[in-house]
C-alpha cells in the first residue's frame, strides 16, 4: 500500500508516518520546498524516518505542483493533514489561512479525482468547527458554528470532502478531531507553551508564563492515539465522518496546575494573564462524544489527561536539562 501524507513534518504527520510504516506501507510525504531547503529545522519530527519515506516538494497554494506529485505515483490512500492550524494566527491573517486550508483541500481532491479517483482520502476536520457549541457533548450530528477563520476554513474543507464523496463517488472521509497533543506539539499551542515554559522555569531560564484565557475548556487527547483513528477511517467499507475525542475535558488552568505540579511548583506563583493572548471570539468549551468511532472503528484512546501532561513536561525537561537543547530559542521563535 502506498500512502501520501500532506503535513508529514507536523506532529500528526510524523506519528501517522510511523504508524503506516509499522504496517508495511510505502510512505510518501508532501513538503514545502522551504522544508527541503532547511532540513535541520523543518524535519526534526521525521529525521529518524528520512531513510524510510519519500518526500516530494509541492505547495498547497499551487494546483500544478500537487497535480505533478499525484500524477507520478499510484497512491492508495491520501491523508490530508497540512493546514495553517494555529487558530490565533487565523485571526491575524484570515486570508492566507482560507487560501491554504480551503484551496489546498480543493486542489488535493481535484487532482485525485482527475488522476487517481480510487485513492482513499482523509480530511483533517476539527472540533473548532463546533465553535459556539450547539449541544454538549459534540457528536457527528451537532451543527457547526465556527468562531474563527480557521474554524470556517475547516467547515469548508469538511463540506468539500463530503461533496466529492457524494458527487463523484470518491472514498472521502473526515475525522472531526478534538485537541490532540504530545511531545511533538508545536510551541505556539497552549499545552506545549505551558510544558516548555515549565521546563524553562525549572531550569532557571524563565520566571513567568504569560497566558490568555485560563478558563477555556478542551477535550485533550494524544496525537499518537488519534492518528490510529485516521488510518481506521480509511479501512472501512464505506466512507464516513467520525468524531475522535477522549470524552474528558479540562480547563487551561487545570493543565497549568498539573504541569507545574509535575516539577513541584505552584502555577499561581508563575502564571500571568496577558490580554494579548485572548482571542477576538473564543471557543469556550469543547467535549466530544466519540461513540461512533469506538463502535464502528473499534477505536479507543490509550492515554489519560494526566499521562499526556506528564509525558510532555518530562520530555521538555529532558530537552532542556539533558541535551542542552536550545529550547528557549525554539519557544521564542514560535510566538
Ligand atoms: O492550544 P490552542 O492554541 O488550541 P485550539 O485553539 O483549541 O486549536 C487546536 O485544536 C483544534 C482542535 O479543536 C485544532 F483544530 C487546531 O488546529 C489546534 O490544534 O488553544 C487552546 C485554548 C484556547 O481556548 C486559547 O484561547 O487555550 C487558550 N489559551 C489561553 N492562553 C491559549 C493561551 N492558547 C494559546 N495558543 N496561547 C496562549 O497563551
pLDDT digits (tens, 9 = 90+) for 55-84: 999 999 999 999 999 999 999 999 999 999
Q: Return the residue matching grid coordinates 496546575.
A: 257
Is the CB of residue 128 below 6 angstroms from any atom belonging to ligand 1?
Answer: yes
Active-site option among 128, 181, 257, 262: 128
> Residue 328's pLDDT is what?
57
Does residue 331 surpass a pLDDT of 80?
Answer: no
Across the chain, what does the average pLDDT equal?
Answer: 95
Q: Are 245 and 307 in contact (CB under 8 A)?
A: no
> Residue 199's pLDDT is what?
98
| Three-class SS state of 4 | strand
Is the CB of residue 158 below 6 angstroms from any atom belonging to ligand 1?
Answer: no
State yes or no: is 307 an active-site residue.
Answer: no
Q: Are 199 and 190 in contact (CB under 8 A)?
A: no
Active-site option among 14, 65, 90, 126: 126
- Interval between CA 167 and ligand 1 midpoint (Å): 34
- The alpha helices in 31-148, defined as continuous H runs, are 33-37, 39-42, 63-72, 87-92, 94-98, 104-115
> What band does 101 get if pLDDT is binned at 50, 70 and 90?
very high
Length of the chain measured in residues: 335
What is the pLDDT averaged over residues 266-291?
98
> Residue 323's pLDDT is what?
63
pTM beyond 0.85: the answer is yes
Is the CB of residue 277 below 6 angstroms from any atom belonging to ligand 1?
Answer: yes
> What band does 137 get if pLDDT is binned at 50, 70 and 90?
very high
Does residue 293 surpass a pLDDT of 60?
Answer: yes
Please write the tens of the pLDDT for every residue from 304-329.
999 999 999 999 999 998 765 556 55
- Interval between CA 317 and ligand 1 midpoint (Å): 22
d(CA 190, CA 232): 28
| Three-class SS state of 266 | coil
What is the pLDDT averaged over residues 287-316?
98
State yes or no: is 90 an active-site residue.
Answer: no
Any bridge partners for residue 123, and if so which? 80, 174
Q: Are 317 and 166 in contact (CB under 8 A)?
A: no
Is the CB of residue 213 below 6 angstroms from any atom belonging to ligand 1?
Answer: yes
| Three-class SS state of 50 | coil
Using only C-alpha atoms, what is the Rg of the chain?
Answer: 19
What are the b/e assignments for 199-238, b being 16+ CB within 10 Å? bbbbbeebeebebbbbebbbbbbbbbbbbbbbbbbbeeee
Does residue 333 surpass a pLDDT of 80?
Answer: no
State yes or no: is 126 an active-site residue.
Answer: yes
> Residue 108's pLDDT is what?
98
Does residue 335 surpass a pLDDT of 80?
Answer: no
- Which is the closest atom of ligand 1 to the Cα of 124? 15
What is the pLDDT averaged over residues 263-288?
98
- All three cell numbers of 108: 488535493
> Residue 332's pLDDT is what?
52
Does residue 37 surpass a pLDDT of 80?
Answer: no
- Interval between CA 190 and ligand 1 midpoint (Å): 6
Q: In testing the pocket of ligand 1, which one of 142, 218, 244, 286 has its CB within 8 Å of the most ligand atoms?
A: 218
What is the pLDDT averaged over residues 144-161?
98
Amino acid at each position: 500500500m502506498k500512502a501520501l501524507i500532506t503535513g508529514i513534518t507536523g506532529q500528526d504527520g510524523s506519528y501517522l508516518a510511523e504508524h503506516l510504516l509499522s504496517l508495511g506501507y510505502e510512505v510518501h510525504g508532501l513538503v514545502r520546498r522551504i522544508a527541503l531547503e532547511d532540513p535541520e529545522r523543518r524535519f526534526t519530527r521525521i529525521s529518524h524516518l528520512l531513510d524510510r519515506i519519500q518526500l516530494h516538494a509541492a505547495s498547497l497554494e499551487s494546483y500544478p505542483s500537487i497535480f505533478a506529485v499525484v500524477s507520478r505515483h499510484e497512491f492508495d490512500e491520501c491523508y490530508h493533514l497540512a493546514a495553517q492550524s494555529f487558530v490565533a494566527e487565523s485571526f491575524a491573517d484570515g486570508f492566507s489561512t482560507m487560501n491554504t486550508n480551503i484551496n489546498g483541500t480543493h486542489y488535493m481532491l481535484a487532482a485525485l479525482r482527475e488522476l487517481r479517483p480510487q485513492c482513499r482520502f482523509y480530511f483533517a476536520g476539527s472540533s473548532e468547527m463546533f465553535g459556539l457549541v450547539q449541544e454538549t457533548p459534540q457528536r457527528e450530528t451537532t451543527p457547526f458554528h465556527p468562531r474563527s477563520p480557521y474554524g470556517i476554513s475547516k467547515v469548508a474543507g469538511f463540506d468539500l470532502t463530503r461533496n466529492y464523496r457524494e458527487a463523484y463517488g470518491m472514498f472521502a472521509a473526515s475525522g472531526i478531531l478534538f485537541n490532540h497533543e504530545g511531545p511533538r506539539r508545536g510551541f505556539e499551542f497552549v499545552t506545549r507553551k505551558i510544558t516548555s515554559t515549565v521546563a524553562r522555569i525549572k531550569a532557571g531560564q524563565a520566571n513567568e508564563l504569560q497566558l490568555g484565557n485560563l478558563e477555556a475548556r478542551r477535550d485533550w487527547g494524544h496525537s499518537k492515539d488519534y492518528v490510529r483513528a485516521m488510518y481506521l477511517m480509511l479501512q472501512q467499507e464505506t466512507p464516513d465522518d467520525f468524531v475522535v475525542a477522549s470524552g474528558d475535558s479540562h480547563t487551561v488552568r487545570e493543565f497549568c496546575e498539573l504541569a507545574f505540579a509535575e516539577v513541584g511548583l505552584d502555577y499561581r506563583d508563575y502564571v500571568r494573564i496577558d490580554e494579548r493572548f485572548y482571542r477576538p471570539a473564543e471557543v469556550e468549551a469543547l467535549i466530544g462524544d466519540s461513540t461512533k468511532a469506538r463502535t464502528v472503528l473499534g477505536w479507543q484512546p490509550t492515554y489519560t489527561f494526566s499521562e499526556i501532561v506528564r509525558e510532555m513536561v518530562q520530555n521538555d525537561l529532558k530537552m532542556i536539562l539533558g541535551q542542552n537543547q536550545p529550547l528557549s530559542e525554539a519557544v521564542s521563535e514560535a510566538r
